Chain A
Amino acid sequence: MAVGLTWNVYDANTMTQAEIYGKVLCRLGEENTDIVGLSADLAKSTKIGEFAAMFPDRFFNAGVAEQNMFGMAAGLAKAGLIPFVSTMAVFTTMRAAEQVRTDICYQNLNVKIIATHGGISFGQAGTTHQCTEDIAITRAMANMTVIVPADGIECANAVRACLDINGPVYIRIGRGFEPNCYTTDAYGFEIGKAVEMNPGTDITLICCGITVLQALEAARDLEKSAGISARVINMHTLKPLDGEIIRKAVAETRRIITFEDHNIYGGLGSAVAEVIAEYGKSCAFARVGLPDCFSLVGYPEDLYSHYKLDADGIIEKVKEVMGKDFEDDDSWEDGF
């Protein structure tokens, strides 16, 4: 009897259920014939492969050549097409940074970037394939809209919505096995408008990407076990940032913690801090993310646990900020 599983990179793509944007992109491609797709030898292992399969003449594989790919995307946009470009976040924002910034942002071209494996979501691949700097980098590029969807459902919404903007958009997702925090896409997704996922009065947890679901879990537990009422905000759009919801949180809860799969320098935490500092009202504030280090190797769930970005880590940080302490209570007997 075989122990384990035999599979290959193409199988892995079939097994990722979180990214439904592939199907959405196909439908959009049917409606709008100006949409084209590009990938850098990763079409079969990312969801843009579905678009490639459906519209082979409107898909361009640049091979292992990201700088050229983004340059080509700029050219395609200049020719009146709407390119959706997908590769890993690290290669998008660093290998091809100048093309993204100079060819696409500076010329304000209608290019939509789907950057995969953001943060440390590709844990076992190590630092060369992780990206804990991309939010900082893309926020600093003028004309760029920056979105970090909370899950596959929100990513599909972002892909739909980004067509309403005539300009560059950066959408950053994980490796595709992330759990969904939404159950429906009809919650009123709007670029630039953060979503209050859970009302609360004691403290506000501002999150983006995978930390949104973790914060919701944490909030549920905090309410039940510690009587702490935590407001959870899904700040899916990093630029333009929803300043109003932040100011409201400062005024109404006076405590804010940000959680992101990103370096604590330059990302969500810094963006929120900018708003708080300019607002002028005092507020207890903390940023949680990668503490300005390159991540250890490991499966992403273990890394999130280690860097306190999972529900338990969030609970711990909240209790630290609130200054309370609680104990473990239960029995470990099997219940059959």
Chain B
Amino acid sequence: MASHEERLAAGLFLHALFPLLKVVMNENAGVRKKFAGVNASVQFQARDGEGDMGAYLKFADGRLDVVEGTCPKPDIAFLFASVKRMNAMLGGKPALFRIRGFYRVPLLVKVLALLMNLTLLMPTARPADPEKKRLKVKLTLYMMAASLSQFNKLGNPDIRKWTSMQPERIYQFSVAGREDMAAYLRVKAGKTQAGPGLYAKRRPFVHMKFRSVDEALPIILNEVNMVTAVEKGYLALEGSPEYARDIGNFMMQIQSLIM
């Protein structure tokens, strides 16, 4: 029976991390080409006494959708005997699992290659290629917003308490205020919503603005701490410093769950 933390981590992988694969598809022409004309569903599922956890990737007409739950007839299914094993695999660690439909080799290879892109998010990934750097920063900003939102939706009591006490507020993350390198978290009375870009309908309550992709990376990789980053101008923290700090704290909690 999976622990509460394990189910929380799984929820973050399936509902915050997986949707980022769509970003990879959109940004990487090579990947897009590989999936052109592919119509298939790839299931990820972990068995658990409290209720199986899973989601599937639906490739259709060159697009990718992430759907919660079980696909009736998946082309490939990654099946895990426990939530813990699924978390390990998705977190880039060795794990035992079954693959139903493993004979669909071309599709399997494409899917695994696609998943490999997510290793860019690992704290150990230090890309040199400028395109990969940009993608890493973008994926990280998206992941920050998405995982905070899911962390709340999945019911972690600390963040729930934090969101429940707030009127509508926008927490914005961006690189130099760029629309394409930005993600936001919207909070209101216990509810959260995350999305790409610069939220237009309301001024951000907290805006973490990285000066550039190159200056964002050392902060993301924890090589430069926040106080130094702000002092040097790599990062501008606009808005309430206390709430910005709370975001940082939740991010650390999330990271320790999934990495």
Which residues in A have some Cβ–Cβ distance to B below 8 Å? 1-7, 11-12, 14-15, 17, 177, 179, 213, 217, 221, 299-302, 305, 310-312, 332-336
Contact = CB atoms under 8 A, between A and B. Distances in A.
Contact of A177 (B142, B222, B241, B255): B241
Interface stretch (B36-44, B126-134, B195-203): B195-203
Among A4, A6, A299, A336, the most chain B Cβ lie within 10 Å of the Cβ of A336
Contacts of B50: none
Interface residues of B, number: 43
Contacts of A302: 165
5 contacts: A4-B249, A6-B227, A15-B230, A311-B203, A312-B168
Among A11, A300, A310, A335, the one with the most B-chain Cβ atoms within 10 Å of its Cβ is: A335
B147 to A, nearest CB: 11
Given A15-B237, A305-B167, A336-B22, A217 B193 contact: no
A1 B23 CA distance: 28
A336 B196 contact: yes
Contacts, number: 86
Interface of B: 15, 19-20, 22-23, 142, 146, 149-150, 165, 167-168, 191-196, 201-203, 205, 222, 225-227, 230-231, 236-243, 245, 248-249, 252-253, 255-256
A202 B226 CA distance: 45
Those 10 A-B pairs whose CB atoms lie nearest each other, nearest first? A335-B195, A336-B19, A3-B252, A301-B240, A299-B242, A332-B193, A334-B194, A305-B167, A14-B231, A11-B227
Contact of B146 (A300, A311, A334): A334
Contacts of A301: 205, 239-240, 243
Contacts of A14: 227, 230-231
A5 B238 contact: no
A221 B202 CA distance: 8
Nearest to B21: A336
A217 B196 contact: no
A301 B169 CA distance: 11
A15 B226 CA distance: 10
A318 B205 CA distance: 21
A300 B237 CA distance: 16
A217 B201 CA distance: 10
A1 B150 CA distance: 22
B189 to A, nearest CB: 11
